[in-house]
Amino acid sequence: MRKSVIFSIIVAILIIIAVAVALTVVLTRRSSTIEKTTTTSTGSPGSTSIGTTTTSTTMLTTTTTLTSTTTTTTLTTTTTTTTSTITTTITSTTTTTTTTTKLMFINNTNPKWTSEGYTFAGGNGYGQNLSQLYYPRSIFIVDNDPQSIYIADTGNQRIVEWKYNASNGQVVAGGNGRGNRIDQLSDPIDVFVDQKNDSLIICDQGNRRVLRWFLQNHTDPQIIISNISCGGLTIDNNGDLYVSDYNKNEVRRWSIGDINSTIVAGGNGKGQELNQLNYPTRIFVNRDYSVYVSDAENYRVMKWIKDAEEGIIVAGGRGGGTSLDKMYMTNGVIVDHLDNVYVSDMANNRVIRWAKGSQEGSIIVGGNGSGNQSNQFISPRGLSFDQQGNLFVVDMYNSRVQKFNIDIV
Ligand SMILES: *[C@@H]1O[C@H](CO)[C@@H](O)[C@H](O)[C@H]1NC(C)=O
Ligand SMILES: *[C@@H]1O[C@H](CO)[C@@H](O)[C@H](O)[C@H]1NC(C)=O
Ligand SMILES: *[C@@H]1O[C@H](CO)[C@@H](O)[C@H](O)[C@H]1NC(C)=O
Ligand SMILES: *[C@@H]1O[C@H](CO)[C@@H](O)[C@H](O)[C@H]1NC(C)=O
Ligand SMILES: *[C@@H]1O[C@H](CO)[C@@H](O)[C@H](O)[C@H]1NC(C)=O
Ligand SMILES: *[C@@H]1O[C@H](CO)[C@@H](O)[C@H](O)[C@H]1NC(C)=O
Ligand SMILES: *[C@@H]1O[C@H](CO)[C@@H](O)[C@H](O)[C@H]1NC(C)=O
Ligand SMILES: *[C@@H]1O[C@H](CO)[C@@H](O)[C@H](O)[C@H]1NC(C)=O
Ligand SMILES: *[C@@H]1O[C@H](CO)[C@@H](O)[C@H](O)[C@H]1NC(C)=O
């Protein structure tokens, strides 16, 4: 009896050991399979190959890889063996996503652009075909919609919309010959989109007026301001309109619903004192309502802080010349989130960046003489960034718009 009892106990113990061994083998195999597939997916973040082993992981990967850190926590409780590998995958994926947004550009104190431009629009000689531009002056890119790029096609008396990778533009205003009828333009030199009102605001220079041209029906343009020597215009985030006047040497602001305007820069006659301007053209308004003015014949850019009595020189102001502390006729001006000022140095055929407080600029693109190569311009004018920080330059006498990709390294 005792012997058989002992024997039974031994048999029972053996069975338990056998089952335990078998379980261990199964579990080990399972986790090594997971590790293997996980490793594969590390090579290509965002792929869904993890899903071939465990359903729960598949769900998490396909739905939330790019968006949340919560994913990591959930995974930790699901399969302990693979947590660290999977976590790495998700982290690297998130980083990749971040570098492609504008934040990278904002935080990079020394961004660079490719020196060779890509012809985004025109470049087919000057003429009035829809594949052509004729001495364009300005460009406007709608925020949050890189597909909507508007060009003041000055010599063709029209505004065209040019989508990414398109071979043709589309006329959205004018295009009815030069003239002063309400549906005609005469040397439109600047344009922007008033998104709140779905309309274009056009600096119709030759007609000494500013027009609103609705994008939906194109039929009912309105004169917003008349009798003005418009050199450039823009809008702030309240919808207030700013227009420079190169005859009166001033920039004025028109607030919505107010027929009266206010001088926000210049207005003290033509001259080179800090409270004066000499042929103001392009303007830029930042989030603090400071106005940057391309003060063309003073070869400088002035910044007028809101309600200031005089401006601050933020670029040039040392006469005309080719050295890096000088410019020769300024045109397009844009400002980034670090207050770096980018200026079209027209007669030097280059675009210069002036860092805040610096005594000289640095060449961003161009500076290789006048010509039609991809690193050259003939009289660069309007400038714009898209959301990624790529730089667009209107290359007037080459009748093209050049795009310079930002180099994110
Ligand atoms: C950029 O800088 C701002 C302000 O310093 C900061 O809040 C933001 O997180 C930074 N973004 C990146 C991607 O580093
Ligand atoms: C203008 O367009 C027409 C038709 O699309 C084409 O036949 C002609 O060659 C073009 N002209 C130029 C100068 O590109
Ligand atoms: C334009 O074309 C290039 C090359 O064909 C492509 O990589 C890019 O995604 C396109 N851009 C847009 C906005 O369609
Ligand atoms: C939209 O345009 C109309 C017509 O010119 C104008 O009365 C109105 O103030 C504009 N609204 C905005 C938000 O600009
Ligand atoms: C054109 O559209 C604008 C805004 O969408 C509207 O205010 C205006 O009355 C329209 N004009 C015509 C002639 O339909
Ligand atoms: C236009 O403005 C000028 C001053 O800049 C003034 O002398 C002239 O009378 C104005 N013309 C009209 C029609 O208001
Ligand atoms: C516009 O200016 C005139 C003259 O300075 C003034 O009488 C009028 O009240 C102002 N209108 C508004 C809406 O501020
Ligand atoms: C174009 O100009 C830039 C800036 O001066 C310079 O770095 C680059 O080498 C020039 N390219 C050529 C081909 O001369
Ligand atoms: C580019 O410039 C060269 C030299 O001036 C000229 O021969 C050529 O026709 C130009 N090309 C275009 C597309 O304008």
Write out the chain's pLDDT in tens, 409 residues: 566 666 677 666 666 666 555 555 444 444 333 333 222 233 333 322 232 222 222 222 222 223 233 233 223 223 333 333 333 223 222 222 222 223 335 456 678 999 999 999 999 999 999 999 999 999 999 877 767 899 999 999 999 999 988 999 999 999 999 999 999 999 999 999 998 889 999 999 999 999 999 998 767 899 999 999 999 999 998 889 999 999 999 999 999 778 899 999 999 999 999 999 999 999 999 989 999 999 999 999 999 999 999 999 999 999 999 999 999 999 999 999 889 999 999 999 999 999 999 999 999 999 999 999 999 999 999 999 988 889 999 999 999 999 999 986 5
Residues 158, 222: Cα–Cα separation, whole Å: 16
Q: Is 256 in the pocket of ligand 4 (CB under 6 A)?
A: yes
Hey, where are the domains in the chain? 54-105, 112-407
For the Cβ of 372 lying below 6 angstroms from any atom of ligand 9, the answer is yes
Judge contact between 80 and 72, C-beta under 8 A. no
Question: Rounded distance, CA 296 to CA 27, Å?
Answer: 76
Give kind and range of the element (H or E) at residue 213.
strand 209-214
Statement: 112-407 belongs to CATH 3.50.50.60: no
Closest residue to atom 12 of ligand 1, CA basis? 103
Residue 120: what residue type?
F
Residues in CB range of 54: below 8 A, 6 or more apart: 34, 78, 79
DSSP assignment of 374-386, as one string? TT-BSSEEEEEE-
Query: In which element (H, E) is residue 164 found?
Result: none
Residue 386 to residue 142: CA distance in whole angstroms: 8
Alpha carbon of 394 to ligand 3 centroid (Å):
20
Ligand 5 pocket, residue 397 CB under 6 Å: no
Query: Do the beta carbons of residue 354 and residue 315 sit within 8 Å?
Result: yes
DSSP class of residue 398? G
Residue 312: phi and psi, rounded to 5, are: -120, 135
**Which residues sit with their C-beta closer than 6 Å to ligand 2?**
124, 127, 129, 131
Residue identifier of the C-alpha nearest atom 6 of ligand 5:
214
DSSP state of 287: T
Our answer on whether the CB atom of 118 is closer than 6 Å to any ligand 3 atom is no
For the chain, count helices (H), then strands (E). 5, 26
The identity of residue 390, as a single letter, is N
Long-range contacts (CB closer than 8 Å, 24 or more residues apart) made by 268-274:
272/298, 273/310, 274/302, 274/310, 274/311, 274/312, 274/313
Q: Can you say whether the dihedral through the CA atoms of 128, 131, 133, 134 is positive or negative?
A: negative
Q: Could you give the dihedral angle defined by the CA atoms of residues 170, 171, 173 and 178, in that order, rounded to the nearest 10 degrees?
A: 150
Nearest CA residue ID for atom 6, ligand 9: 372
